A = this chain, B = another copy of it.
Amino acid sequence: MNRPDSKVVNAIHQASFIKGDALDIPTLKVLDPQGVVIEGAQMPDIDETLALKIYDTLAFIRVFDERMVASQRQGRISFYMTCKGEEAAITGSAAALSDDDMIMAQYREQAALRFRGFSTPNFMNQLFSNAKDLGKGRQMPIHYGSNELNYMTISSPLATQIPQAAGYAYGQKLQGNDALTICYFGEGAASEGDFHAGLNMAAVLRAPTIFFCRNNGYAISTGTDEQYAGDGIAPRGVGYGIETIRVDGNDLLAVLLATQTAREYALKHNKPVLIEAMSYRLGAHSTSDDPSGYRSKEEEDLWAQIDGVLRFKTWMMSQGWWDEDKDAALFDKYRAEVLSELKVSEKIGAPALDELVTDVYNDVPKHLQQQLSDLKTHIAKYPDAYPSAKGESH
């Protein structure tokens, strides 16, 4: 460590503060608000196939989010959260990864899971908590997860996945399998102690992790001015000695570029990178929320104008890779698919009663076997009182 009198130390002799806004962190942009590439901008690594896959994801998620909010209103599912407004940030970053990379998300990143190949029935079965839900109907809607797709099951407690991502990435590094972990979280979750723990540990222990902060302006009703006093989340990266980049989250090409660059850097140096994507939660926090109580329609409209999906579509069209007919057909296809899969999934029955006690431990211990058998005896006495005995799906 540096002795305070060592020559390399930069000394001052007047008491003056480093200001809270000392770092003027720029924002990476490739597309302008209209979806035109800014002159001289560096392009990400993207070809037509990738672009089409990205857009396919964006279209699906738009349709799916809209449809599932409607289903919630109809009482068909109990809860839902859209990623509306943030699709570009989520899909653009997911598209920069290898399939071997682990994704640890917060809850609003269904587009990343879709990009990985989660099928429409996969989504639906989770939302309906039915027997085909990979999560066995145990968590609320939107808590997806898939071992096969390297997408860690969502857990509601915020920010817990941040130090977990550092650990996961450290394990990947030791195994030498050229894969890393991306960790998504909101600017609200970044206030949790686990954020501090995760970023510092990843930096010190050199875990190849991409910390991807979705700064969407709100944590439920709490705006960023009540969440932090500094210049967002990016300057914190410098506090941990982490290479950091801020990006326009509504600019898919910029997000893709930033994440591709981050991935390369992280794997090459075995170091974490922090990306802050500036975007906006266009919808309500969840179907339980009504944002009109805490923000204005004008604000929402302002952000809708620079929507990342539209900008990316415009760019694809300018490449000659897309047109309005294809667009209409794609949206139609997904509307139909979502509707028909919904009808299938909502008819699938609930998980077996035995699943009530599995997976608490690797094997079902004696006391839980006993509790299950007592329960079955009890249910047999009151068959009408319990859905499982009545064979109800809900």
Contacts and interface: CB of A to CB of B under 8 A. Distances in A.
A28 B11 CA distance: 6
A238 B237 contact: no
- Size category of the A interface is 35 or more
A241 B250 contact: no
A17 B265 CA distance: 10
B230 A240 contact: yes
B12 A28 contact: yes
A41 B11 CA distance: 11
A39 to B, nearest CB: 8
Interface string A179-206: 0000000000001111111001001100
Q: How many copies does the complex hold?
A: 2
Nearest 9 Cβ contacts at the A-B interface: A193-B193, A230-B241, A196-B196, A20-B241, A236-B239, A229-B241, A203-B229, A13-B41, A17-B243
30 contacts: A1-B223, A2-B278, A4-B250, A4-B278, A5-B33, A10-B24, A10-B27, A11-B26, A13-B29, A13-B40, A13-B42, A15-B28, A17-B243, A17-B261, A18-B238, A18-B244, A19-B238, A19-B243, A20-B238, A21-B238, A21-B241, A22-B238, A192-B193, A192-B196, A204-B226, A230-B239, A230-B240, A230-B241, A230-B242, A238-B239
Given A10-B27, A191-B196, A204-B227, 17 more contacts: A1-B217, A4-B306, A10-B24, A11-B29, A12-B27, A12-B29, A13-B42, A14-B41, A15-B42, A15-B260, A17-B243, A17-B273, A18-B25, A18-B243, A18-B245, A193-B193, A193-B197
